[in-house]
Amino acid sequence: MIRWRIILTCLLCLIFMSATARAQEVLSPNAAPEHDGLALGVGFAPDPLPVAGIIGGGSIDLSRENMGADCRGFVTAQPDFRINVVYPFPFLRLILVSDSLLNDMTMIIRTPGGSYVCNDDSFDIDNPTLDFRDLEMGEYSIWIGTIAPNIEAQATLYVTISEAIYPSSTGLVMPFAAPVVTPTPAGVILPTPIPGTFMDEQAAPANGEAVLEHGFLPDPFWEVLVGGGSVTVPPHDAQPGVVEGAQCGGYTTGRPQLRLEWQGDSTRLRIFFVPNSAPDANMALAVLSPDGWLCNRDFAPGFTQPQVDFINPSPGTYTIWVTHETSPNTLVSGVLYVTEKQYYPTYVPVVASESVELIAGLDAAAAPTQGSLDLGADFDPDPLTLPMSAGGPFDLVAANPGLETQAHCVGFYNDAPNAIFRLNVPLTYIRLFFVADEASADATMVLRAPDGRWYCNDDSYNAVNPTLNVIGAPGGTYQLWLGSFEAEATISGTFYLTQTDATPLRPTGRARIGAPNE
């Protein structure tokens, strides 16, 4: 009996070694991954850590390679991604979430020891998950497979050390369940509520209405707005008699922030809000959809921006409130996004310009060389335009080594600002841009805000004109510098300051951004 066990063990080893050897022949685990990689050490954040935009698929049919029952799908020889584990985590879970609910994808991983593990479906849905316990340190090469050859499908890889995170948890794939709206029984007369003291879906939205249909472009749609207020959000989504599990809560305004008319058939409609202020801006979403209420406070552990998903969204009206979770009368500006894609709060095309803590060598206290302005909330004309010239002798990059890789901080400037402007009140949104008289002239821009934040830009809108978008612009004095790419070069042109959707490509604004409708 012992001899047969030894023989059986040897046969199993030979089968495993044969499958591994065959995989080594068709796959190239040591090749550079298509989408780079990351090093994973103790204390990584956030958890789950999302890696978006990984594209899988290929021509190699793994089901023919005898690598195991779950090793299937079509892949390329080179890995799609690689994780270098530098800490011996007791548990590590990798979750793959397709950008489209119509794509059934697989995941194949080669461990540092050379073995292959695979998964197709997990947790009763079509998203693969692979768990590692007491995992060995080293490189894990990852392939993303598709069920058909030579097609590309995009996905997000989530990395977590928590067993509480799984594909259908915390909004990664499926939304929180929303109960069906219970109608008022016939014959029951309800008291007339006082306007402004309750969430009124019939009221005119503060930021108007938007009409979107399946395949809308550009995706994501975004709107700058202000959330929070004095009206208490009832637990609209609570199950009968059980309030504790409700996601609806916090404080908002009586009228909604936005009303969305949705048209067409789609697999997903995602709405999320990114506050402009610090991460402790405790914001939430409350959405009345054609199928009832859906609310969310944080879309996953470690994330403070709210997100709701509608799977196979019903055509009709989606009335949206942005709420503050804990504090009444706390107003927070930010950007509301609507998308059919797998964008999420930490992976989204940039709308707001990023700030830097300090830029050395520019004299914010110096008198402006080309003028100053005092502006109120409704300055006119809008866009406001001023003729200016850009350029100077001061090399921003030389004085700030390494800064050129952050927020496009480049160019030659004068020490003193070109202009200053004073906002008498805070504004939800301002946009600044410069258009040179000569189309090929490449100007740059630096702005210092009253709160000490610095902003830079070089090119925008696929052209050489600089643009800055400041969301939640505080009141106070702003200093503006205009530069050029060559020392002492002078570029003449026009500076624009606006609260509208004007851009360097279309300097005449058509609509005010982030302005509540009265």
CATH code of the domain covering residue 270 = 2.60.120.380
CB 62 within 8 A of CB 119: no
C-alpha to C-alpha distance for 132 and 123, rounded to whole angstroms: 16
Instruction: Give me the count of residues in the chain.
Output: 518
Strand partners, 324: 251, 283
Verify that 437 and 405 share a domain, yes or no. yes
CB 474 within 8 A of CB 428: no
**What is the β-pairing status of strands 355-356 and 283-289?**
unpaired
Verify that 320 and 384 share a domain, yes or no. no
pLDDT in tens, the chain (518 residues): 444 444 434 444 434 444 454 555 789 998 988 887 888 888 787 778 888 888 899 999 998 888 877 899 999 999 999 999 988 999 999 999 887 766 789 999 999 999 999 999 888 778 899 999 988 899 999 999 998 898 888 888 989 998 888 886 645 554 333 333 444 455 555 556 666 678 999 999 988 899 999 988 878 888 888 899 999 998 887 766 555 667 888 899 999 999 999 999 888 899 999 887 765 678 899 999 999 899 987 655 556 788 888 988 999 999 999 999 888 988 888 889 999 887 777 777 667 787 888 899 999 999 999 989 999 988 999 999 999 999 999 999 999 987 765 557 899 999 999 999 999 998 888 999 999 999 989 999 999 999 898 999 988 887 899 999 998 888 999 999 999 988 888 999 999 999 988 999 889 987 788 655 44
Verify that 20 and 151 share a domain, yes or no. yes
Verify that 7 and 121 share a domain, yes or no. yes
* pTM of this structure: 0.60
- Tell me, yes or no, whether 411 lies in a domain: yes
Residues in Cβ contact with 505 at an 8 Å cutoff, skipping those fewer than 6 apart: 461, 463
Verify that 332 and 367 share a domain, yes or no. no
Verify that 302 and 374 share a domain, yes or no. no
- Tell me, yes or no, whether 243 lies in a domain: yes
For residue 113, count CB atoms less than 10 angstroms from its CB and return exposed for 0-12, middle for 13-18, buried for 19 or more: exposed
Which residue type is seen at 440?
Answer: S
Enter the tokens of residue 423: 């906002």
Verify that 108 and 137 share a domain, yes or no. yes
Verify that 378 and 438 share a domain, yes or no. yes
Query: How many DSSP H helices and E strands does the chain contain?
Result: 2, 34
Largest CA distance in the chain: 96
C-alpha to C-alpha distance for 86 and 91, rounded to whole angstroms: 13
Radius of gyration for the chain, computed over Cα atoms and rounded to the nearest angstrom = 27
Helix (H) or strand (E) holding 427: strand 427-436
Verify that 334 and 383 share a domain, yes or no. no
- Tell me, yes or no, whether 181 lies in a domain: no
- Tell me, yes or no, whether 143 lies in a domain: yes
Residues in Cβ contact with 290 at an 8 Å cutoff, skipping those fewer than 6 apart: 314, 315, 316, 317, 318
How many domains does the structure of the chain reveal?
Answer: 3
Q: Residue 228 belongs to what domain range?
A: 209-339
C-alpha to C-alpha distance for 330 and 2, rounded to whole angstroms: 74
Verify that 303 and 424 share a domain, yes or no. no
- Tell me, yes or no, whether 508 lies in a domain: no
Verify that 108 and 238 share a domain, yes or no. no
